[in-house]
Amino acid sequence: MKKSVIFAIFLIGFTALSAQIVLLRQLIVVFYGNEISLGLLLGAWLFWGALGSWLLGRFADKIKNRQFSFAVLEIVLAFILPGSIFMVRNARAILGILPGEIIGFLPMAAFSFFVVSLICVTLGFLFALACRIYPQKTIGAVRIGRVYILEALGAVCGGCLVSFFFIRYFDALYIMLGLAGLNLISAYLLQLKITQPRFVPAARYASLALIIILFALLFSQKAKELKQASIRQQWKHFTLLTARDSIYGNLVVTRHDAQYSFFNNGLYLFSVPDIASSEEAVHFALLETPDPGRVLLIGGGIGGLAGEVLKHPVSALHYVELDPEIIALGRQFLAPEKLDFLKDPRLTIFHRDGRLFIKRARLSPGFVPYDSIIVYLGDPYTAQINRFYTREFFELAQECLAPGGVFSFSLSSAENFLNVEQQQFLSSIHKTLKSVFSEVKVIPGDTAYFLATDKKGILTYDYKELSRRLRERQVATKFVREYYLFARLSQERVAYLEDRIGAKRAKPNTDFRPISYYYDMVLWSTYFAGPWRKAFSAVNEKSLWAFFSLVYLSILGWGFWRRKRGGAKKGTVLLAVSTTGLTELSFQVVILLAFQIIYGYLYYKLGIILSFFMIGLVLGSWLITKRLEKVKDDFGLFIKTQAAISVYPLILPLAFYALNTATGSRFISWAGSNIVFPLLPVISGFIGGFQFPLANKIILKDANIIGRTAGLSYGMDLLGACTGALLVSAFLVPLLGITQTCIAVAVLNAVVLATLMMNRKSLCSSPSSPASE
């Protein structure tokens, strides 16, 4: 067996998952961490992979110089990989969008599909070619299975190396240049013993020259200059001070005149100075608190909020900031007088997830409740932020408050008029908050401030009383004064806001049904013309279940029709392969979103979860491939795998709920994030990896076109996965919730299982003749 061929096939998977992780992290920055972008990129990746594997794979059997063609494609890929980083970092310039400006759904989708197109088409075609250049001593189905294993094994290694090592120490551009170098080396090795066509020697020397040039560039000062230029282009129109990756996200500090702005994953955090925002966020909450002794602040402290809190006669301020790099950047760039509050002995900083901090704090021995809790994290653009606006989080916050304590947060609103989408969004949060706290008040404005307590009569709209407390505590302010409170608490504005968000029929926001995240997405779509505003507004729980019912009935109807006609071997099995691809990607997206909801630092674990899925894929493929020639009832075994993929979705919600309720325990929290969550994608990957070689064996019984069959089955797998990625992240989880999404996927697989069983007789009666070259 040629080692160069084995290495080349291994490198397909290594390159694919490594590049996918790097591009996902880069596009998260461009699209502000919104999980729709996660689904869009995964969907785009799989769509183009399917196209390359299926469409171009049709020609794999007709190509004469396959090994040389494979090498040429690797050289092409070596140029595309670093080019994609420049493309992503120029995304805003290409789309004509400034940093911090919302990107519309259509530009987001179009750019995601465009930026990965060449990479994925090339990788898909390489897989189909790999099934032809693999040594020919095995039957076709076994050969495809072994190529599948090698590719998946490469993906595991690439994903783990990138996740655990490379992204911590190297810029994305360096990683892509390294991948390009590996592909050039592989291309050179593949050409060493090729004599045809005649120009191979020239191509071989060209490959060697490219390798030398690339690695000379990689270790030169020019690479650093290219990296800085690409990052500066990403933040065009801003004075970029620094951009760095932490394990929790991509952090950027910019300057405009004397104001410093901080961004995390492209999402605006705060600016310094921004006195008006800091004063509103703090003083509205603390003036409503009769005795603000102990205060918990989640987010925004380094942006000025902590200093405003300490103007009040508080006994202790606990400031929670997940990423210590945010504090470090504040110390590095902000003037010393802006950071005087850090010397105050009443201040204690905790570098933990805010939600996990609250969950554990209330269970710790000697815990003293807080008189006020202020959350300053912005709108729920993402599932990570949305978890701070759910019923479960509000319940945790209530348990941490002293009797009569005040809980506060802010959301984008409008000062004088709320459109329907804004009403729906704010109403969902308002309804959720009222389901937990006995009294809720909302201060109107372009930013609406929500205040809640468990005792009636604590909160007030009386601007005179709040002004009295301000004077009594001798709090020096620039904006929040009596005239300011009078304007913000005008009876007409308060009545208008309460009427609009109180009467609207909106569903409550919960952890595993993050509906407010969807309402925010609908609101976000209103900033743009076109069909997307109507499309997002029209989709709801009933329409989704109606769509699924139609799909289920269509599949069953097709199964009955094919049964009457004598069966459809290839079509039925490919349908199962496609729905398994959809299911597996649904699993991946659901697991990623559930991890984000429970733990809140997906950016750190993204590559690890994706890599462990590939581990399961390798194990499943390896186990069945080594026994494939001995399996007699291949279709019976295929049906069992379909039954397994129908049951597994029902297990996931149970695991998520168990982990979510137990994260107060440090050990269970650690075990959940480091053992259980990585294990969940291993199981789903195992089932899919086990099924794929079986499908190819069944299809190849009456065929002798290995490249085309490999491309078709792999393409159907990826096409189904593409559909799952797009549907689940954008619609199913926000609207149906994780439990109903898993049920919908389970029923889909059960319907396909029924179709397979209906056609079993005709499928098993097909002639069996092993296919080879």
**Where along the chain do its domains lie?**
3-225+539-764, 274-524
Q: Report whether pLDDT(686) > 50.
A: yes
pTM of the entire predicted model: 0.81
Closest CA to 582 of 710, 751, 706: 751
Q: Report whether pLDDT(750) > 90.
A: yes
pLDDT of residue 432: 94
- Give CA 302 to chain center in angstroms: 27
φ/ψ bin of 263: left (φ > 0), alpha (ψ from -120 to 50), beta (otherwise): beta
Over residues 143-184, the pLDDT tens digits come to 667 787 888 888 888 888 887 788 878 888 889 999 999 999
Arithmetic mean of pLDDT, 432-461: 93
Three-state secondary structure call for residue 427: helix
Separation of alpha carbons 219 and 14, rounded Å: 22
pLDDT of residue 396: 93
Separation of alpha carbons 15 and 490, rounded Å: 60
Output 724 or 590, whichever has higher pLDDT: 590
Output 583 or 401, whichever has higher pLDDT: 401
Output 42 or 296, whichever has higher pLDDT: 296
Residues paired with residue 411 on neighbouring β-strands, in sequence order: 448
Three-state secondary structure call for residue 603: helix
Q: What interhelical angle do 706-727 and 117-133 show, nearest 10?
A: 150
Residues 6+ apart with CB under 8 A from 561: none
Arithmetic mean of pLDDT, 287-305: 93
Three-state secondary structure call for residue 250: strand
Q: Report whether pLDDT(771) > 50.
A: no
pLDDT of residue 770: 40
Arithmetic mean of pLDDT, 270-289: 93
Instruction: Sort 213 into a burial class: Cβ within 10 Å, 0-12 / 13-18 / 19+.
Output: exposed
pLDDT of residue 347: 95
Backbone angles phi, psi at 512, to 5 degrees: -95, 10
Separation of alpha carbons 486 and 153, rounded Å: 65
Output 634 or 116, whichever has higher pLDDT: 116
User: Which residue type does 141 have?
Assistant: A
Separation of alpha carbons 518 and 264, rounded Å: 21
Closest CA to 445 of 478, 412, 482, 486: 412
322, 355 in Cβ contact below 8 A?
no
Alpha-carbon torsion angle 645, 647, 652, 658, nearest 10: -150
**547: confidence class by pLDDT, cuts 50, 70, 90:** confident
**256: confidence class by pLDDT, cuts 50, 70, 90:** confident
Residues 6+ apart with CB under 8 A from 608: 159, 160, 163, 164, 678
Q: What angle do CA 652, 163, 266 make, to 5 degrees?
A: 90
Residues 6+ apart with CB under 8 A from 205: none
Over residues 112-140, the pLDDT tens digits come to 888 888 898 888 888 878 877 776 655 55
Write out the DSSP string of 500-555. Answer: HHHHS--PPPBTTB-HHHHHHHHHHHTTS-SHHHHHHHH--HHHHHHHHHHHHHHH
Over residues 5-30, the pLDDT tens digits come to 888 889 998 999 899 888 888 887 77
**99: confidence class by pLDDT, cuts 50, 70, 90:** low
Q: Report whether pLDDT(767) > 50.
A: no
Q: Report whether pLDDT(528) > 70.
A: no
233, 70 in Cβ contact below 8 A?
no
Arithmetic mean of pLDDT, 36-56: 74
Output 104 or 275, whichever has higher pLDDT: 275
Alpha-carbon torsion angle 366, 371, 376, 381, nearest 10: 80
What element of type H or E holds 244?
strand 239-246
- Among the four given CATH numbers 1.10.287.1080, 1.20.1250.20, 3.90.1310.10, 3.40.50.300, the one describing domain 3-225+539-764: 1.20.1250.20
Q: Report whether pLDDT(472) > 70.
A: yes
Output 349 or 728, whichever has higher pLDDT: 349
Winning range, highest mean pLDDT, from 343-352, 638-647, 666-675: 343-352
Positive/negative CA dihedral, 26, 29, 30, 32: positive
Instruction: Sort 345 into a burial class: Cβ within 10 Å, 0-12 / 13-18 / 19+.
Output: exposed
Winning range, highest mean pLDDT, from 338-347, 506-515, 542-551: 338-347
Over residues 401-432, the pLDDT tens digits come to 999 999 999 998 887 788 888 888 899 999 99
Q: What percent of the chain has pLDDT over 90?
A: 27
Q: What percent of the chain has pLDDT over 70?
A: 85
Arithmetic mean of pLDDT, 522-528: 62
Arithmetic mean of pLDDT, 228-253: 83
Instruction: Tell me the average pLDDT of the chain.
Output: 82
Positive/negative CA dihedral, 130, 132, 133, 137: positive
Q: Which two tokens stand for residue 600?
A: 């809140």
N-term to C-term CA, the chain = 16
**60: confidence class by pLDDT, cuts 50, 70, 90:** low
Q: Report whether pLDDT(768) > 50.
A: no
pLDDT of residue 183: 92
pLDDT of residue 762: 56
pLDDT of residue 538: 66
Residue 661, number of CB atoms within 10 A of its CB = 12
Residue 219, number of CB atoms within 10 A of its CB = 9
Q: Report whether pLDDT(92) > 80.
A: no
pLDDT of residue 130: 81
> Sheet containing 249-256: which strands, arranged edge to edge?
239-246, 249-256, 259-264, 267-272
Write out the DSSP string of 326-343. Answer: HHHHHHHHS-GGGGGGGG
Alpha-carbon torsion angle 714, 720, 726, 727, nearest 10: -170
Arithmetic mean of pLDDT, 697-717: 61
274-524, what's its fold?
Answer: Rossmann fold (3.40.50)
